Amino acid sequence: MMSRDLRRPDLGAIPGLAATWPEARTLELFRRLCEIRHFDLRVRRGQIEKDVDTLIYLSVGQESVAAGVSMAMRGSWLLGQHRGHSFYLAFDGRREPLVDELLGLPTGCCGGMGGSPPIHDIERRIVGHIGLIGDQVPVAAGIAMARPGERVVSVFGDGAAEEDYVLATLGMAASRKLPILFVCEDNDLSVLTPTRDRREWLLADVARGFGIEAVDIADDPWLVAHWAETLSDRLPAVMNVRTCRGLWHVGTGSDDNADWDRFALVRETLAELGLADKAAAIESETEKGVEELWTSRLRTRSAK
């Protein structure tokens, strides 16, 4: 089956899965999803208002991948990619140094060296990305070999999946049974070039060829969390998660042509679960919290 045929919002769906979750867990999942969304929408506004002048890679539209994986894997080593605010936040990276980095302050998590791509919080095992797609993946293997017994999450996109770095590391992880969860955020785009113009193979098939368990699913956050948890005891494993980039590859623009709107679909599911009011309250709280954080850091920058 071709990659394009698998781009649908119900790929791999497990009917009724969300309803099996305890309410508190579902609301925590939604809280993480909301924080990512409102954080990146605030970054976007920051660039439009010229408070943020470095390159930014936003996760709007793809929030559920990081939120879902974090429900099972928070606390593991995390090696994210250039579009990394989502996983940084979901894995509980500290907020103030992240905002400061985007504002170009010396107190930023990279001291102002990086902007979006290399954000990190090493004290929380969040390792920075240098900006070359895919090259963080063998680094993940090195960490896994250096720290036996500690789990590692390696995140990359469908474009990076084509990098030799990734394919060689899958082989190494399979051969040495390294405890790595490889997560491919598959938005079907390398900048603007769709997957069908770049390759005719599926990452999950390649992983299985190496003897690694793999799933190819859509970005329903309950489904993502379910598989992250299921596979966390069977590492190495690969999750290819079909998702939709809501904004341009870099910067603030939008073509407004996403295949689906996951955030809206999640809201619908929450309403079906009778959690619409609680979800709305969480959304409002997180948006307010993000705004307060940015206001505080902007005030600090103005004072310097």
Return the number of the residue (46 or 108) whose C-beta is nearest another protein. Answer: 108
User: Minimum CB separation from another protein for residue 155, in Å?
Assistant: 15
* 106 part of the interface to another protein, by CB under 8 A: no
Cα distance between residue 190 and residue 168, in whole Å: 20
- Tell me whether residue 191 is exposed, middle or buried, using C-beta atoms within 10 angstroms of its C-beta: 0 to 12, 13 to 18, 19 or more: exposed
Cα distance between residue 222 and residue 69, in whole Å: 9
* Of the residues 75, 104, 171, 289, which one makes contact with another protein according to CB under 8 A: 171
* Of the residues 141, 155, 160, 237, which one makes contact with another protein according to CB under 8 A: 141
* 25 part of the interface to another protein, by CB under 8 A: no
* 116 part of the interface to another protein, by CB under 8 A: no
Structure tokens at 155: 């995140």
* Of the residues 12, 68, 84, 128, which one makes contact with another protein according to CB under 8 A: 128
User: Minimum CB separation from another protein for residue 128, in Å?
Assistant: 5
For 99-190, strand residue ranges (E) read: 126-127, 152-157, 180-186, 189-190
Return the number of the residue (34 or 139) whose C-beta is nearest another protein. Answer: 139
CB atoms within 10 A of CB 73: 23
* 236 part of the interface to another protein, by CB under 8 A: no
* Of the residues 16, 22, 49, 146, which one makes contact with another protein according to CB under 8 A: 146
* Of the residues 17, 27, 110, 258, which one makes contact with another protein according to CB under 8 A: 110
Give the helix, strand, coil percentages of the chain, each rounded to 5. 50, 10, 40
User: Minimum CB separation from another protein for residue 61, in Å?
Assistant: 28
* 172 part of the interface to another protein, by CB under 8 A: yes
| Residues with Cβ within 8 Å of residue 142, at least 6 apart in sequence | none
Return the number of the residue (1 or 146) whose C-beta is nearest another protein. Answer: 146
* 140 part of the interface to another protein, by CB under 8 A: yes
Cα distance between residue 63 and residue 290, in whole Å: 15
Burial 30-66 (b: 16+ CB within 10 A, else e): bbbbbbbbbbbbbbbebbeeebbebebbbbbbbbbbb
Q: Which helix (H) or strand (E) holds 282?
A: helix 276-303
Return the number of the residue (73 or 266) whose C-beta is nearest another protein. Answer: 73
- Do the Cβ atoms of 213 and 237 come closer than 8 Å? yes
* 177 part of the interface to another protein, by CB under 8 A: no
Contact range with another protein by CB under 8 A, out of 163-171, 193-201, 223-231, 247-255? 163-171
The alpha carbon of 57 is separated from its chain's Cα centroid by a whole number of angstroms, namely: 12
* 212 part of the interface to another protein, by CB under 8 A: no
Q: Which residues bind another protein (CB under 8 A)?
A: 110-111, 113-114, 118, 120, 122, 127-128, 130, 132, 135-147, 164-165, 168-169, 171-172, 175
